[in-house]
Structure 1
């Protein structure tokens, strides 16, 4: 068995277009007044044909439409993509097909059409249940829109999720406790809860650098909010199965688990990334960020890749640790042993003595106290 088979195989499609650019967002998203969906569809289908030739015989366990705002796609285009995927690969009986959406009335109206194409899970970018904060975050929807979208999504799809951002400007611990309680009452299986991070190159990053982004919580308050989140979600039956993701048993995101369990995934679209094993060698693959550049490249050269880099065993060990230690059941030490000659058991003992990690039945797991320090833990573990 090749290493990637421990994590499975999935497909990611990136739709780079949005109605507006949120000030905190560092994803590859672009505002465009008009999009030629027919031309984009032809490019996606061409890439499906190319990638499937390298991965023939694999079982697709998950398909994910991310962005950008993929719910701005026409359902007919999503249907064409999924039909081509079914033609080129076999799909698992319980394949998860997720589409990200914003809670606007235009997108909500498409939910049943998306469901008819085969989409069986929707992830809503709610971000806040407070009107003032929605405006601060640059969101175009209202709290009423968000609640209606959640209600409609849950009536159409068996599996749903929505995102909330906390540690926002001027937010107190009591504010977040109240808002999270509302979110938990609305959720029916999965919640993604992210601390606001200020990324360079974003509008928030520019304001922060200029000293104009005021009211952000200090580190202690941010930590208090994080641990409050863990306590409240666990009590509500949606414990963290990953640092920022919470779910009832069986409702975990199958697609994200392919990433966290370090499987293989193809990435199609501008700015999409991939990890693919070909002839026993695992490659890191990226694509051009600019939408028009990616589209032109597919049309002119027949492929949408930018770079393809062979990953060393140590590279793979680093990535597996970085991803796998984020989830509740951690990483398998036997897989690490296959990737590294030095399995750093002395470092494991050192970090375990500090209460940051533990070993259980052949697995290395980050403790509750260690989860906020994952990046530092991985750096300490690697030789």
Structure 2
């Protein structure tokens, strides 16, 4: 066989071997890509996304779109060819698998966590919008979850209202951990609670729950990656009573990142006129009960998805601005926001045509 032919054959065989290896060898990466965007002022799957009853509402035109990101499943094993293709593509992002599924988290565990975060984001969006409108909302600290096989299992239950810990009144969820960790592992901590059933009955009767009970729990030592401390095995959260009904109808979405856009949609429907002036505005960002906007993941994919649907402006959490500004889709203006008040101010400028006054994102933030 001539040397040239042998060299070409060897090179071809090597290329085939490399391609086979690229297809067969898994790599520890996952893919993110733009997901659906949904107008919070409109309908989804045949019904309004925001359904408000018991209070006057107003027609709202334009778009206040929440945005999402698609990710590969926890058990998907990407090969090298897929990873390289994703790295080269503009509308996808390749990230380490552990970024999306840390500590070996399963698909089921991730979905459950996302569902809980989505539910909490809806509650915070309602509270933030109503506070901005000056509508009072009753709030209290509750047992959000109880860890299986923890000291609190069977002693405290999800939905129990935490009134005090060791006799000290609890005003916000973070108070609970602070009071528990004053103890050493093995010591008792006393929770004063309104049982979940009592609270539910009181709410149904539109009365304040008054029946409390003391529950003593022996603390244990934490086993997570943080510093060792006393724990009882619960997470605390906040529950609310609203003066009228606000329902958010949106299935197959998870995580907390739609909070800002839900809050703005609620605000728009409860006030005359249009927040957007008919413009197509999209955005993202977590929100807490006080209206503070927090950062989210996958910002680059969300801006791409929003622009592909026609968005002209994108409300961007301040902490995501630098990353988003590095590759802004053509025709999309990134607007920096830190609070719901910032977002409302930006929307006023947008509908008034005063776009020069908008706080725009830059690669420095």
Q: Same fold (TM over 0.5)?
A: no
More helix by share: 1
Bigger radius of gyration, 1 or 2?
2
* TM tier relative to shorter chain: under 0.3
**Higher relative contact order, structure no. (Cα contacts within 8 Å, ≥ 6 residues apart):** 2
Q: Tell me the TM-score normalized by structure 1.
A: 0.23
TM-score by length of 2: 0.24
